[in-house]
Amino acid sequence: MSDEVTGVGQPLRGLSQDPSWIVFEDEDLLVANKPAGWNTHSPSPFANEGLYDWLRHREPRWAGLGIVHRLDKETSGLIVFTKTPQAAKSLTEQFMGRQVTKEYLCVAAPRSKDRRWECQAAIAKRGDRWACLPGGQEARTTFQIEEGGPSAGPYTTLRAFPATGRTHQIRLHAAYLGMPIAGDTLYGGPPGPRLFLHAARLGFVHPSSGSPVEFRSDPGWRIDAKLAGTQDWRESWRVCPGETDCYRVGTIDSDQTQFSLDRFGPYLLAQTADGSPEDIRVRLLQDFCSGPDAEPRAVYFKRLLKRPGVAETKQASPDCILGTPSAERFEVRENGLKYLISFSEGYSVGLFLDQRENRRRWMTGHVGSGFGRLGVSNADRKPELLNAFAYTCGFSVAAAAGGWRTTSLDLSRKYLEWGRQNFEINRLHPGDHEFIFGDVFDWLKRWARRGRMFDGIVLDPPTFSISKEHGRFAAEQDYGKLADAAIRVLAPGGVLFASTNAARLAPEDFVKTLLAAARAHGRTILQQHYVPQPPDFPIRKEEPGYLKTLWLRFQ
């Protein structure tokens, strides 16, 4: 999506430390270009973070953001947040007084030859949805043909001008006039890859200067007669392109299968539990690789296995189904750091993308609004981090870049060596850090006996594992024992980061388990912050949330 802005201040485009869809920011306001499929705010404590929640916890300067209006989850486009009480008061009054200019783009199939339509149908709640009903709240919308806008077959781009701001107003009024919006199956629209509704223009009086400001945004969509073409879902999580080139591109549904698509630098990795490589190849060629901004160097296919641990390396590794195969290992960027990836060394490729935001927290020292900084050093030493179940040491690299001295512990010598290489390519001297081969429970007992303490601990165990020293570990049943052992070596004021992707362990039970372990040791929790899986791994009815993470600071 492209954007432009006129008025007070300058857009922050080009500053790699901020998300690419931040359109404008000054001391009073933050204007964002919300991607489709993202809630304005989280609907519940354990759902995906909404755009507001994600921003508020990402940067200290955004901790006090305020909401003055909302966009539907499936609607993309311009949304403004306030940063000061004065701005909140001013913008709230302007929205309530209908002094804000709002203009939307939508795609529909008009039922007449008119160029302009007026709708004044009242809106009220009926059951679990909204409807145009007599006696409801007043609602007025004007629609007109967008001259020169993308059109295909019966579908035409329309501009919508809502004079009021009722829930689902534009969608309901378009359907009421007999031209439901494409992708809006809730209100009778034809199926599509997304809801073709975009907040394209937003204008108001700046709360400090008193001058009018206006923001415009182009949705960047393409449409065809079958409503199959849109670029919006592609690359929608390019938060900071200069810093991160690995992320979940999307989950694509087809009649044959459902699969996820991840980007690792110049390569794409498609993953599915069913379907054939040929199914995936055809779908990708039709819906992704044909785009001018796609052009991956190669596409890999990985079948999701129920028991990946028993598969041979070659069988578990992804297969190259399009393009030129990658080198045995290649570099990707995440939060400005480098990590080595391999598509030829087994089921896991070297980096779990759903932990990107948590690695960033260890690197920046900022967990979220209201949670104190991480890694505050004493004058005579660096803070010490234990990364249990370290895998290829992703958390350790991020923490080391943030000033921590790290100890990486894992049962695999191969992965620890891989981790050392991740340190080296980031110019972090491995000799300044510890890499320990062994069982986590065994080493936690040793350190407890010796009185060794850590200022931070990362617990991100596999859902299931077996070691000679400890035996069987299943996160659903044994996480409490793991937390108990870790708390014994956590220093006063220390931070425990606990995470699990055990799908059967409910978020509420996960949190209760950790708090119970703290109480058993008589430790007081000073601060806590729960984080679900990141927004590029959406939680839906079809795909329940699996990743649960909790940050705890102990007295």
- Residue that has been written with the tokens 């916890």 in this structure: 57
- DSSP labels, 410-421: ES-HHHHHHHHH
* Continuous segment of H or E residues that includes residue 90: helix 85-96
Residue 168 phi, psi (nearest 5): 60, 25
Q: Is 122 exposed, middle or buried (0-12, 13-18, 19+ CB in 10 A)?
A: middle
Q: For residue 203, give the amino acid letter.
A: G
Asked whether the beta carbons of 340 and 394 are under 8 A apart, the reply is: no
Selection from 403, 417, 280, 273 nearest residue 342 by Cα: 417
CA 394, CA 246: separation in Å to the nearest integer?
14
Catalytic position from the list 18, 26, 53, 72: 72
* Continuous segment of H or E residues that includes residue 477: helix 475-487
Instruction: Report the phi/psi class of residue 226: left, alpha or beta, with left for phi > 0 and alpha for psi in -120 to 50.
Output: alpha
Selection from 546, 509, 552 nearest residue 47 by Cα: 546
CA 243, CA 334: separation in Å to the nearest integer?
6
Beta pairing partners, 463 = none
Per the annotation, the verdict on 72 as an active-site residue is yes
Selection from 262, 341, 350, 244 nearest residue 301 by Cα: 262
Asked whether the beta carbons of 171 and 185 are under 8 A apart, the reply is: no
CA 74, CA 94: separation in Å to the nearest integer?
25
Active site residues: 72
